[in-house]
Copies of this chain bind each other. A is one copy, B any other.
Amino acid sequence: MVLHTMETAKATEVRPTRTLLDQLEDAGLLLRTGVDGLYIRTAAYQEVADGIDAMVSRWAATLHATRLHMPPLIPRTSFERTNYLESFPDLMGSVHVFAGGEVEHRQLLQRATRGHPWSELLQPSELMLEPAVCHGVYPLCARRPGSGPWLFDVSGHCFRSEPSKEPTRLQSFLMHEVVYVGEAAGAEAHRDMALDRGQALLESLGLEVAAVPASDPFFGRVGNVLAASQLDEQLKTELVAEVPGNSRPTALLSANYHRDHFGRSFGIETTVGELAHSACVGFGVDRIAIALLATQGLDPSRWAPSLRSLLRL
From A2, A6, A118, A123, residue with most partner B Cβ within 10 Å: A6
* A140 partner, pick from B31, B46, B92, B98, beta carbons under 8 A: B31
| Pairwise interchain contact B40-A105, C-beta atoms closer than 8 A | no
Which residues of chain B come closer than 8 Å to A74, judged between CB atoms? 33
| Pairwise interchain contact B171-A33, C-beta atoms closer than 8 A | no
| Pairwise interchain contact B66-A6, C-beta atoms closer than 8 A | yes
| Pairwise interchain contact A150-B6, C-beta atoms closer than 8 A | yes
- Count copies of this chain in the complex: 2
| Pairwise interchain contact B67-A43, C-beta atoms closer than 8 A | yes
A208 interface contact, C-beta 8 A? no
* A31 partner, pick from B68, B80, B157, beta carbons under 8 A: B68
Which residues of chain B come closer than 8 Å to A34, judged between CB atoms? 75, 77-78, 139
A73 interface contact, C-beta 8 A? yes
State the main secondary structure of chain A at its contact with B: mixed
* A64 partner, pick from B5, B77, B124, beta carbons under 8 A: B5
Complex alpha-carbon distance, A77 and B1, angstroms: 32
Q: Nearest chain-B residue to A151 (Cβ)?
A: B3
A102 interface contact, C-beta 8 A? yes
5 example contacts (A-B, Cβ-Cβ < 8 A) are as follows A2-B149, A3-B63, A41-B69, A46-B69, A85-B109
